[in-house]
Every structure is written in structure tokens, then in C-alpha cells.
């Protein structure tokens, strides 16, 4: 993969580069360049080949760079990071960090350009094409019991909303428990997983997928309406390295302060961005379906649902929500 990434770096500007120049820069043969170009196309990145001009990517790329992300991070976040990794390809950033030994100090952060088995809530696949979006997971240790972290995934959703709202995008909102929507289409999602002892310490792996500029060819691979940040902002869409840095900074603040603040600190902000509040919804639980009108979330992050029996609260888990009207 190293040779492929080196070639991609040369082609990332979207300009034509001759095969001879590419081969000389990499110290390989023209035939080796041709093989690498085929690998790049197999990754879903179309290439134009024009006699007398050479090769170019049909669409320029901004590849993630750990050095660049660090440069864009405020100094306060540097001290909170224990380990920082970037993979060209990985099965799942969350799956990788769940298997890693937790750090005693600081966060373990993992980015990937592509996920082969990306996961969303309830085991759903998360389509993760190469260098199109943000795929990131953060592992954090707490010296408290997991029950004290109720609502953390919703608080992290607020953190992501702050980042996306700061891009200038309007009408983006949260759908309980932790999805980001625009124009009734999913733009981003969070997956939070816990491990550890009942009485502490415990470990959180918080993963996020943000559609930045999803290739249109993947439309048939996704089983629900989706959108991306580029559809909203066009050429004003921030670079992926900038988005990555802003997201890390927002999440590290929340992860560090959450035990003292709890979800009540984020409740009003979450409700302000709630796209479901006041609408008829259907909750699907393992045993039944419940219909009612969504009334926001309480100070623990539970969904408040107005039914014939009155106001009922539902915590996340094996529950899905769909809007009925």
C-alpha cells in the first residue's frame, strides 16, 4: 500500500503527470506505475489517461496527513493525545481500537482513508470509500463506572454539530440518538462502544463517519437516503484535514469534561438541534413498536415520547427511530 499512497500523493492535485516522470520520482519502471494505477482505479478513484499528457485523477484529492492535522489543532488538544494513527485502509477504526490496550494517559486516536468493514449502530454497515469522507475513532479511559456515562454519545453528537454548524451549513440537525441529518438525509453518524469493569475503570471508543464528498456511484450501495457536506456547501466545503482537527478538538473537550458536567450540560443544545421534536415517530424495540410524538430528550439523553399513556422515556441501545409524519 505504501507505493500506492506515494503515487496517489503525486496525483492528488488532479493535474496530468507523465508516466515517465512518475516512474523516475518513485524509482520504479513504467510497468510498475501502470500496475499501481490499476490498484488506484480498483479503489474507486477513476483516472484519465491521455497520450502525450500522462495520467490524472478525475477529481483532486486532499489526503489526510497527521502532521497537518496536528498543526491545525489548538495547543490544549496536543497534551490530551497519547497515540495518533492514520491507516490507508482498515477493517474498522472502532474495531481496531476496541482490541487495542487502553492508554493510561491521553487519547488513542485512529483515522483511516478507507474502511473495509465500517460499522454503524446495531451492526449496520457504514459505506467507507477511499479519501472521500472522515472515518475516525477515539479511545478514552475513565476511572468511573459505565452507568455514569449515560448520554455521552449524545453529547458527542452535540460536539459534531458544533463543528458542522461552524462550516456555515444551515438546517443541519440531530436525529436521536446520534445521527446528523440535512434535508431529511443522513450526513454523519456516531458509534460509541464501552468496555471495562462495572465499577470502573472503563474505556470508551467513540467512532464517527462524516460524509464529506461521497462518490455518486455509491448511491445503490447505501440502503437509506444520504447526503454529504459538499452537497450543502459546494466549493466552500472545508478541507478534510481541517474538519478532522476541529472534530478531534471538540470531542477531546467533551470526553475530558463529561464526568463533571454530565449530559445536562448539553441537553438544551441538543434539543435546539433536534429535527424530530414535535413530529410523529415510531420506535422499534426488540419486542414491539411504539408510536407517539417526540418531545426532545431529558437530562440523561433519553428520548421523551408522548403517547396515549403520557410522556415515556426511552434510552438508546437496540432501538431505532423513524419519522412517520
Which residues are marked as active site? Answer: 121, 186, 322
Peptide bond into 201 cis (omega under 30): yes
Which residues are CB-neighbours of 162 under 8 A, at least 6 positions away? Answer: 250
- What phi-psi label fits residue 40: left (phi over 0), alpha (psi between -120 and 50 degrees) or beta? alpha
Q: How far is CA 283 from the centre of its chain?
A: 24
Q: How far is Cα 154 from Cα 119, in angstroms, rounded to an integer?
A: 18
Contact in structure between 177 and 139 (CB atoms under 8 Å): no
Note the maximum CA span of the chain: 74
Which residues are CB-neighbours of 201 under 8 A, at least 6 positions away? Answer: 141, 142, 143, 144
Work out whether strand 107-112 and strand 134-142 pair parallel, antiparallel, or are unpaired: antiparallel
Q: How far is Cα 80 from Cα 77, in angstroms, rounded to an integer?
A: 5
Burial label for 142, CB within 10 Å (0-12, 13-18, 19+), is buried
Amino acid at each position: 500500500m505504501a507505493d500506492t499512497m506515494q503515487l496517489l500523493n503525486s496525483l492528488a492535485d488532479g493535474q496530468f503527470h507523465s508516466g515517465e516522470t512518475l516512474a523516475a520520482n518513485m524509482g520504479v519502471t513504467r510497468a510498475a506505475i501502470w500496475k499501481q494505477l490499476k490498484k488506484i482505479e480498483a479503489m474507486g478513484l477513476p483516472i484519465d489517461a491521455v497520450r502525450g499528457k500522462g495520467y490524472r485523477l478525475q477529481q483532486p484529492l486532499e489526503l489526510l496527513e497527521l502532521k497537518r492535522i496536528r498543526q491545525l489543532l489548538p495547543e490544549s488538544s496536543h497534551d490530551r493525545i497519547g497515540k495518533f494513527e492514520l491507516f490507508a485502509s482498515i477493517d474498522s477504526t472502532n474495531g481496531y481500537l476496541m482490541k487495542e490496550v487502553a492508554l493510561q494517559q491521553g487519547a488513542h486516536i485512529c483515522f483511516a482513508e478507507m474502511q473495509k468493514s465500517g460499522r454503524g449502530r446495531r451492526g449496520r454497515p457504514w459505506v467507507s470509500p477511499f479519501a472521500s469522507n472522515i472515518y475516525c475513532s477515539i479511545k478514552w479511559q475513565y476511572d468511573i463506572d459505565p452507568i455514569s456515562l449515560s448520554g455521552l454519545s449524545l453529547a458527542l453528537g452535540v460536539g459534531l454539530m458544533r463543528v458542522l454548524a461552524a462550516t456555515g451549513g444551515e438546517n443541519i440537525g440531530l436525529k436521536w440518538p446520534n445521527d446528523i441529518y440535512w434535508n431529511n438525509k443522513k450526513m454523519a453518524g456516531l458509534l460509541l462502544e464501552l468496555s471495562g469493569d462495572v465499577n470502573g475503570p472503563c474505556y470508551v471508543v467513540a467512532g464517527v463517519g462524516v460524509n464529506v464528498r461521497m462518490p455518486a456511484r455509491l448511491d445503490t450501495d447505501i440502503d437509506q437516503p444520504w447526503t454529504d457536506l459538499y452537497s450543502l456547501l459546494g466549493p466552500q466545503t472545508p478541507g478534510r484535514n481541517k474538519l478532522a482537527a476541529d472534530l478531534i478538538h471538540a470531542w477531546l473537550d467533551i470526553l475530558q469534561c463529561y464526568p463533571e458536567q454530565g449530559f445536562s450540560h448539553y441537553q438544551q443544545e441538543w434539543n435546539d438541534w433536534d429535527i424530530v421534536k414535535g413530529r410523529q415517530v415510531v420506535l422499534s424495540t426488540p419486542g414491539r413498536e411504539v408510536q407517539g410524538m417526540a418531545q426532545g430528550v431529558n437530562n440523561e439523553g433519553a428520548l421523551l415520547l408522548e403517547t396515549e399513556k403520557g410522556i415515556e422515556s426511552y434510552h438508546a441501545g437496540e432501538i431505532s427511530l423513524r419519522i412517520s409524519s
